[in-house]
Structure 1
Amino acid sequence: MDIFKANQVISGSHGTLMIDGEVFAEVSEVKIETKIERKEVWLPGGQKGEKIVGASGEGTIKRYKLNSNWFKKFTKLAKGNEVYFELYFQVDDPDVAGAEAIRITDCWNKDGFSIEAKRGEEMDEELKIDYLPINLKAVELI
């Protein structure tokens, strides 16, 4: 029986996140979700099944605040202008054979962004995004 070794578990601490080609290496958390919408379908014999009728994508990016880059990029939202951007995320753990990278084009900001600060603690910024699942591409797979 083959059992994996601890160093084979991919560590997210070696990831890079880029927005429109600009590296946000200080990202502390990324969550990307593709959700499937289903509709009930009645089958012969009174059986019930489901059919996929749509898909949507959403995510959350958290980063340590180092500068005002996000603020500069997303101030257009307050004026009612949409901001589309490309998201590139790569996990490249030196203990693992290869890297994994995804690219999502034409993302948009879902809810603005938030800044969190507490005395004596690092500042965080959070950005919620939406995207069309068709725009999610694997650039590199392990």
Structure 2
Amino acid sequence: MQDIQAVLREMSASLAEHRVQIQHLQSENEAQAAKLRELESQETEMGKLKQQLQAQTAELITMKARTNTAENQVAALKRDGEVKQVAFSASLLASGSGHVGPFNIHTPLVFGHVVSNIGNAYNPNTGMFTAPVRGAYRFEFYIGVVD
């Protein structure tokens, strides 16, 4: 009988020890389950953040394309909006008096002394004027005849 009682005491102690271990394992299991839920929550949040990042990346690409288009349009408008003025004032001589001609053949007069040349349409080397802008042009000539 004494052996049975010793075995029962030993089994009882072992059972108590197992209960403590089970409680400890249950506590660890609950802690790990809480961590797992937290990780799953973080994973869900990370998935949402990835979707937001992808959407923002696509939006950024679209905005960059729109910005480039707008910049090109602004540059074109600036070019188109530039004052396209053409005017020049030139004379045959820089100052004083002198003679030009007479000519027996068709000879272009080159007004070599240029006072102003807005738009650079008049070429003082060739005497040629090239109209760079559509529109009406007015030319005035002042001629002095010496007898």
TM-score norm. by structure 1 comes to: 0.21
Higher share of residues assigned strand: 1
**Highest RCO, 1 vs 2 (Cα 8 Å, sep ≥ 6):** 1
Pick the structure with greater CA Rg. 2
